[in-house]
Structure 1
Amino acid sequence: MLHDIVSKYRSWKKYRATYDELARMSSRELNDIGISRADIAQIARQAMR
C-alpha cells in the first residue's frame, strides 16, 4: 500500500513539474515546439507514464 502511495505521489510530482514548466512558457515558445496551451494538461498526463 505504501508503495502505491509513493508511486502515485511521484507521478503527480512529474505531472506538476511538466505542467508548470509548459505553463511558464510563452505562447510563441509553445508554438515553436508545436504545442498549444490547450494541450498542456494532456502532455503533462502523458509525462506521468
Structure 2
Amino acid sequence: MFVSYILSKVRSYMRYRETIRELSLLSDRELDDLGISRFQIESVARQNAFA
C-alpha cells in the first residue's frame, strides 16, 4: 500500500513537470488562445497533476 502511494505521487509529479514543460514551449499567443497567461503555468500544471 505504501509503495503504491509513493508511485502515485511520483507519477503526479512527473505529470506536473511534463505539463510545465509543454506549456512553457508555447508562445504567448498560443497560451492566450488557451486562456492561460505565462505566470499561471505552474498553477495550471499543479491543478492538472494533483487533481
- Mapped to 1, the partners of 2:7 and 2:34 lie a distance apart of 32
Structure 2 residue identity aligned to 1:32:
D
The structure that is helix-richer by fraction is 2
- Mapped to 2, the partners of 1:3 and 1:32 lie a distance apart of 37
- Structure 1 residue 27: Cα displacement: 0.7
RMSD: 0.8
Runs of 4+ in 1 over 2 A off after TM superposition: none
TM-score (norm 1): 0.90
TM-score (norm 2): 0.87
- Mapped to 2, the partners of 1:9 and 1:30 lie a distance apart of 27
Please name the residue that 2:42 is paired with: 41
- Mapped to 1, the partners of 2:27 and 2:13 lie a distance apart of 23
Gaps of 5+ in 1: none
Q: Encode CA deviations 1:1-49: one digit per residue, 9 max, x unaligned.
A: 1111101001001101111110000111101111100100000001112
Gaps of 5+ in 2: none
